[in-house]
Amino acid sequence: MALATASRTQQSTARQSRGERPVGMYVLIGVPALLALFLAWQVVTPMLRTEIVAHTAVAVSKVSLESDPQGSRVDLVLVDRVGADTTVNGDVTVKVREPDGRVWQTTRTVSGDSFAPLREGSLLSGRTGFSVVVPAIDWTLPPRRGGAATVTVTVSPADGSDPFSTVAEERFP
């Protein structure tokens, strides 16, 4: 009988100790479990990303001024919100100003068909962009080779969204 009582006392003590676990044990189990969940979240979320981003142009990524057989060529690349090359339907205004004040400006109505991969040998070769040639005959005096120019590009989308622009300091080739 004494043995049975001692056995029951040990069982109740074991049950109490199982129910009363120290806080350190929860920390030792909980921290690695949280780290494993965080790692799983980092691995799984890129796979669940949906493409809901509108691919409308929101900025001019890059403008370059390069030589062309007919004069000087202005290449420009438009990007969407995620930085991917894109096109626009609307009006593109390009203004080239030399430091002495001479200005050449044109406004072109463009569509998605107006954009194409830019030619080989260009600074922006392979990117989808739009090119405008500044004819040499449009300058009363030819632009100075290596002279600085300010190129301003303004894009007014036809869908009514806000126009955007950029100003780039380039050199005549």
Residues 26-85 pLDDT 10s: 888 999 999 999 999 998 887 776 665 567 888 888 888 888 888 888 899 999 888 888
Is the residue at 157 inside a domain?
A: yes
Number of structural domains (the chain) is 2
77 and 37 together in one domain: no
41 and 72 together in one domain: no
Q: What is the mean pLDDT of residues 151-161?
A: 89
Determine which helix (DSSP H) or strand (DSSP E) holds 169, and give its type and residue range. Answer: strand 164-171
The predicted structure's pLDDT at residue 23: 87
State the CATH number of the domain containing residue 68.
Answer: 2.60.40.1940
What is the C-alpha separation between 147 and 152, in angstroms, rounded?
A: 16
**pLDDT surpassing 60 at residue 17:** no
The predicted structure's pLDDT at residue 14: 53
**pLDDT surpassing 80 at residue 126:** yes
Q: What is the mean pLDDT of residues 113-140?
A: 85
The predicted structure's pLDDT at residue 161: 84
Residues counted in the chain: 173
Give counts: helices (H), strands (E), the chain: 2, 9
73 and 42 together in one domain: no
63 and 41 together in one domain: no
The predicted structure's pLDDT at residue 33: 95
Higher pLDDT, 18 or 172: 172
Is the residue at 53 inside a domain?
A: no
Is the residue at 54 inside a domain?
A: no
Residue 171's alpha-carbon distances to 78, 143, 165, in angstroms, are: 21, 10, 19
The predicted structure's pLDDT at residue 159: 86
Determine which helix (DSSP H) or strand (DSSP E) holds 149, and give its type and residue range. Answer: strand 148-157
pLDDT digits (tens, 9 = 90+) for 98-125: 777 778 888 999 998 999 998 887 788 8
Q: What is the mean pLDDT of residues 135-153?
A: 76
125 and 159 together in one domain: yes
74 and 138 together in one domain: yes
Is the residue at 7 inside a domain?
A: yes
Q: What is the mean pLDDT of residues 90-94?
A: 92
The range of the structural domain enclosing residue 14 comes to 2-48
133 and 72 together in one domain: yes
91 and 138 together in one domain: yes
**pLDDT surpassing 60 at residue 4:** no
